Amino acid sequence: MATRGGRKKARPQPKPADHDVHVADGVRLQKVMADAGVGSRRKCELLIEQGRVEVDGVLVLEVGVRVDPETSVIHVDGMRIQQDQTKITIAVNKPTRMVSTMSDPQDRPTVAELIAGRTERLFHVGRLDYESEGLLLLTNDGELAHRLQHPKYEIPKVYLVTLDGRLPNGVGSRLLKGIELEDGIASFDKFKVVDQTSMETLVEVELHSGKNRIVRRMFDEVGYPVTRLVRTAIGPIRLGDLKQGRTRILGKTELGTLMSRVEM
């Protein structure tokens, strides 16, 4: 696969140990961890003693530390634990000819129909256009949604793209280098031809731009219209074998990894 180079950012180093995170009237750290589903209280104590737990960016080595379960930010092995059990993030495999929003003035099908049984107030993270399909994230965590869409964090998205026609040599390099669109320069971070016939080409691309219909517009610009577009990944979250029109709640590990990517 051709690439412009990795963009994954290193996690900030823990703050000096003299930065006090102890909250006198708080809850013991191991209890907060256990309540969040990390493991038994004894397992959580071992994780602390092994130097695998940070609170507000500070490495904690003593099991007697107390924290505020509502405001303290806790990471285990670099992944943030989900303390607020009312917050959820859902992966959706959006079908084509469905809008990403919860309502539509034109009365077209919406992703709200796929989560009709849920009571949380969920909203979409980014969008997939009406004709596109694949991975879409829904969440009731406003801070997570905001950060995932913020250009600062450069969250990569991966797409499988079917193109009309056989793609000649050199087009991929051009798209990696960058092309001029009406709203500025656009480029892919990675580009790979997966399959090709005389009639069509299947490529996998990765980019971090969140501009509207950016993948379709880039291929239109080089003269190879998109006939099918499927998003297969958002950061560390993969579509996998999730069937079209189905949903799944992100597990603690993958949610922690996702939150770490946006420094939460």
Asked about 183 being catalytic, the answer comes back as no
- Cα(33)–Cα(256) distance, rounded to whole angstroms? 13
**Location of structure tokens 């940070």:** 54
The span from the CA of 137 to the CA of 234, in Å, is: 8
Report strand pairing: 247-249 vs 89-94.
Answer: antiparallel
Structure tokens at 206: 């990765």
Q: Which amino acid is at 157?
A: K
Tokens encoding 96: 């084509």
What does the H/E/C string look like for 44-58?
Answer: HHHHHHCCCEEECCE
Q: Which of 18, 129, 141, 183 is catalytic?
A: 129
- Containing 42, the helix (H) or strand (E) segment is helix 41-49
How many angstroms separate the Cα of 120 from the Cα of each of 88, 117, 129, 224, 250?
9, 9, 24, 41, 15
Backbone angles phi, psi at 36, to 5 degrees: -85, 0
- Sheet with 53-55, edge to edge strand ranges: 58-59, 53-55, 74-76, 79-80
Residues with Cβ < 8 Å from 180, sequence gap 6 or more? 221
Active site amino acids: 129
